[in-house]
Every structure is written in C-alpha cells, then in structure tokens.
Structure 1
Amino acid sequence: MDSDGGRTRTEVDAGDIQIWKEAVTRVRLSQAVVEQCGDPMAGSALSEDDASCPATAKISDAARGVLFAALDNLAMWCNAVAPKVYVEGVPSESASRPHFTLARAGIECAAQAGWLLEPEDRATRIERHLRLVLADMGEEQKAAGRHDPAVAAVLGERIAALKEDHGPIKAAPAYLDMVRATAGRGGVTDDHAEVLWRTASAAAHGKAWFVGAAHITHLGEEFAEGRFRAVHEVNPRAISAVVGFASKLVLWATFQYVSRLGLDFPSLYSSGLAQVASDLPRSVPDVPSETAE
C-alpha cells in the first residue's frame, strides 16, 4: 500500500488482513442478500408505508436506492483489496485516501438507510422519509437552477405540493447526525463514529490533518530551521477501523431492509453466504499457460 505524499509501501499484517477479509465478506454478503429482494410483501411494513407515500416517492424505493449506493461504494473497496481474480505474485497496491473516501460514502448511505428504516412506528418512518425526500428534491432544484430554470421551476412546484399534502416537514438531519444515531449498530460509540467519519471526510477533501490522523510519520533530516524531511506511512489499523465500522453498519442496514420488506432474513442470509463462498477470490498464474495445438 502506498503512503500519503510518497511512494513508500506499507505491508499489512495478518491481524489487519483478517479484519479486511471479514469486512469484505460482510459487504459481499449484504450485496448477495439485497440482490435477492424484490417488491415488499403484501402486509409488510414497507408495503403499508408505501401506501401512505406519494406515488413518485415510495419509501421502499428510497431505502433500496440508498442501500445500493452504500454497497456500490463499499464493493469498489472490496474489489481493490480482494479482487475476485488476482495474479499470483503480484501484490495489491493502493493509495491511502481512497480506502477512507469509499468507506465514508458507505457509512453515510448505510446510516441513512438504517436511520430511515429502524423506527418501529410507521408514522416516524414516513416522517423521516419525507424529510429526506424534501432534502433530495431541494438539492436537485439547486443543480437544475444552474442550467435549466424550467426544470427548477417544476421541482419548486413539486416541493410546494409535498408540503401542502403533508403539512410542515422538518429539515432532514445532517449526515453526521445519522451516523451518530446509528453508530452502535456498527459496533462503535457515537463519538468514535464521528471521529471515523471526520477522518474519512478529511481524506476525501484533501485535508492536511488526515495525514497525521491516519499515518505514522518518520522524520528525516532537518533541511531548514524547524522543517524536516518526512515519510508518512499509512497506518493499516486506521483503515481497519473505518472499513470495519462501514461493513458492520451496511450489514445491519441490510437486515433492516429485508425485515421491513417482510422477507425471511435467515433464509436470504444462508443463500447469500453460499453465493459468496462459491465465488471467493481466486488466483491465476502470472504467465498464461500455453495453448494446446
């Protein structure tokens, strides 16, 4: 793995490799489970939720969309560290920041899905859904306003109609609020979740403090007063912490989704696990074998 700000490589030890393997398995298992799901079962929580939602903004569609977004980002991380097919003797290498950037996207989307689906009370789920829908439409309207005023106007009408039909709608929570609210489901405290999220955000946004937070710094020569040559070696444990949290959170969000659909999670879990086991990463030789004449 390449360090930040240089090409120094860091080997990942067995303990962190095991954590990464477990994280990859959770993500790929979650994918396998979600891909088996269809429409909500009659009489299920999401079926009844959908009946109370606008025709163009069903809660089941929103939940599926944001859960797929979490899995798409985390799957890309999986494919980087544990490709389905790899070449014997060729190490997997990557820079440090993308690990955190992809994990951050997964955390935000999984937290949103879980925050939306967790309440047992239907009215609370629908209220949360409408808050997220309104925020989504507002962002789309801002973007449209920069290039297509007609579309922005239509969106403004839809926003007004939503408010008229459902009464006052509170602003959606910030991503950090949802991350903190669901932190325990990912196995960490809300404060620890915030630290992980802020560190991952710093990686994505190119913040300087990310280097100190996720790397081990080795000082070299002092080339000017108070200034030293330095090598920043990525700390694999920092990656393990953020991907471990992200993968646990997305598996929990998957459980919430399947349960609200009215489907049997243990059955889908078992078949998903069998699918993951049948498609484990495999190696190929670095030199292709000769073709038979």
Structure 2
Amino acid sequence: MARFEDQALTARFGTPLAADDRKANPFHTSHVIQMLLSAGIDNLNGIRHLIWGRPPESSDRPVLHQATHFVLARAAIEDFATALWILGPSSRPVRVERTLRWHVQNIQDRSRAIEVLGVTQHSGEDRLKRLEEIAERSLGAVPPKFRGRGFTATEVVKYADATNPEGGNQELSTEFLWRLCSGFTHGRFWSSLLFLEQEHLATDDPDVISVRMTSDLTRALWPTKEAMHLLERLLKLHNQRNTPHFP
C-alpha cells in the first residue's frame, strides 16, 4: 500500500512500460496496471480487516466467516492475474493488444450496466472505434473479433499458471484456488463439502443428514496466500518493465 501510494508505479521515461503507453495512447498500459493493483491490494486489505480488525484496534483472535474472505481473495487473484496477463508477454504488440482488449471489456461492461438503467445514448461506440483506430495504428491491423473478444477471468488465471516460474500442479494451481473461491462466492455446495471441516449431526430422519461446516485460519488464508504470490510476481515484473533499457 505504501509503495502504491508513493506513486512508484508511474511509468518512467525510457522504459518499456512508457513505450507501451505511447503505443496505446491515450489508453495507457500503466494506468490499467495501476487500477488492477489498486483493486487487488484493496481486496487483500479487506481480508486483513475482516479477519483481524482494522489497525490499531487489531485483535489477536481472528474472526473467520464461512465464505467472505474467499470472495475477496477471488477478486484479488483475478486482478493480479489480469495485470500479469497484460504485462507478462515479451512482445510489445501483444502487451498493447491486451491493454486494448482490457479497455474493450471495460466499455462492454459499462454499456451493459447502463442499459439496465434505460440509458442508450452512451453506448461506447465512439470509444470502441477509437480503440480500433489505435489498434490499426499500433498493430498494423485490427485483431480478428476485436470487439467481441475482450478477455475472460478463465483466460488470465490459466495464463498465471502457465507462466508461473516455480511451476506448480493442478491441486495447488491458481486456477483451482480461483474456482474454489468462485464456488464459495456463488454459494455452491461443492466448495464447502470439498474444503471445509465437516461435523455430521444426527437427525430424526435417517435419510437426511445435517452437517456443520467450519473453517480455520489455514483454509481461510490459502487462496489469500496465492493472491500474495501473484502480487509479488506482478511487482517484480512491473519493476522490470519500468526499468530503462530493460528488454
């Protein structure tokens, strides 16, 4: 949080990140990364306050909800994975295209939201055309299905796993933990039955079971730890992209 608030993430002159910004101007790559970092860090900070309380009134006794911390961890994983997906490729055209695709998704989401309010005069068509102009100028052509592609959360979490410098396995993958958190977010049975401690209770009907589900700090912080790993990877990568003359 201190590093982010100190504006150390601003694109520096003569760096690959600054060059990416020029290619995508005015839809700067650096601004997208800052937005995603801000959102992800805010989610992690929310987990800290949720479990231990807000400093300086923090408690030594954690408070664990059944699912809320998983919801926040899921959002943080998506934020950091998306930033890695944009910033990670060594090819500038790919980074620029993904920046523009992020903005396509942003415009589409906005349009769908305001349509619910009955607002139709701000469809985002002018901004989509502007993105296409920038794509043609910077990439040589508008990528196929540019407006329709945007990006998906599945795409970015799979990318995070595929580019993990420490490798990994399916049981401990970013994708697994993200899907586990998604199960809790949407109130699915499978995530609770798979991940939480179960205490089977007697009932009057032998064909009906009653189960008390409980969590613990290790379970609660497992997806959060994965989000922290992604954040560390992202900050390291950002430092490389924001260093003059780095390839």
TM bin (shorter chain): 0.7 to 0.9
SS at match of 2:77: helix
Alpha-carbon shift at residue 64 of structure 1 (Å):
0.6
Structure 1 residue aligned with 2:228:
247
Quote the offset at 1:66 in angstroms.
0.8
Any conservation in 1 of the 2:52–2:61 contact (CA below 8 Å)? Answer: no
Q: Which of structure 1's runs of 4+ aligned residues deviate more than 6 A?
A: none
Paired position in structure 1 for 2:213: 232
Match of 1:159 among 128, 153, 168: 128
Secondary structure of the residue aligned to 2:12 is coil
Deviation at 1:38, TM superposition (A): 4.8
CA shift for structure 1 position 134? 1.0
Matched, 1:43 2:23: no
The correspondence of residues 85-234 of structure 1 with structure 2, limited to 5 A, is 85-86=56-57, 91-147=61-117, 148-152=119-123, 155-166=124-135, 167-169=141-143, 170=146, 171-183=149-161, 184=164, 188-189=168-169, 192-234=173-215
Secondary structure of residue in 2 paired with 1:177 = helix
Q: In structure 2, what residue type is equivalent to 1:159? A: L
Give, as a single letter, the amino acid of the residue that structure 1 aligns with 2:234.
Answer: A
Unaligned runs of 5+ in 2: 136-140
The alpha carbon displacement at 1:158 in A equals 1.6
State the one-letter code of the partner of 1:52: K
CA distance in 2, matches of 1:235, 1:187: 27
CA contact (8 A) 1:97 1:204 kept: yes
Q: CA deviation at 1:157?
A: 2.0
User: What is the one-letter code of the residue matched to 2:151?
Assistant: P
183-192 or 106-115: which moved more? 183-192
TM (normalized to structure 1)?
A: 0.71
- Provide the C-alpha distance between the structure 2 equivalents of 1:186 and 1:63, rounded to a whole number of angstroms: 23
2:43 aligned with 1:73, yes or no?
A: yes
Q: Is the 8 A contact 2:64 2:220 kept in 1?
A: no
Give CA deviations for 1:29-77 in whole Å, capped at 9, x if unaligned. xx2333331531111111111111132x111111110111111101111
1:46 & 1:249 partners in 2: Cα distance? 19
Task: Describe the superposition over 1:163-183 as per-residue Cα deviations: whole angstroms up to 9, x where unpaired.
Answer: 244232341332122112112
TM superposition shift of 1:100: 0.6
Equivalent AA in structure 2 for residue 168 of structure 1: V
Q: 8 Å contact 1:103–1:242 — kept in the other structure?
A: yes
- Which segments of 5 or more consecutive residues in structure 1 lack a partner in the other structure? 1-30, 264-293
Q: What secondary structure sits across from 1:40 in the alignment?
A: coil
- Which of these two proteins has the greater Rg computed from alpha carbons? 1
**Per-residue CA distance 1:145-195 (angstroms, 9 max, x = gap):** 23221112xx11221232244232341332122112112258743663222
Matched residue SS, 2:57: strand
The one-letter code sitting in structure 1 at the alignment partner of 2:192 is V
Higher deviation after alignment, 178-187 or 137-146: 178-187
1:46 is matched by which residue type in structure 2?
L
1:119 offset after TM fit, Å?
1.5
The letter of the residue matching 1:41 is R
When residues 107 and 186 of structure 1 are mapped into structure 2, their CA distance, relative to the original with a 3 A threshold, is farther
SS at match of 2:102: helix
Q: Which amino acid aligns with 2:90?
A: E
Would the alpha carbon gap of residues 93 and 235 (structure 1) be closer, same or farther in structure 2, given more than 3 Å must change? closer
Higher strand share: 1
- Relative to 1, partners in 2 of residues 1:78 and 1:160: Cα closer, same or farther, differing over 3 Å? same
Cα deviation per residue 1:63-109 (whole Å; 9 max; x = unaligned)?
Answer: 11011111110111122234432367x73313120111010000000
Q: Is the contact made by 1:101 and 1:201 (CA closer than 8 Å) also made in structure 2? A: yes
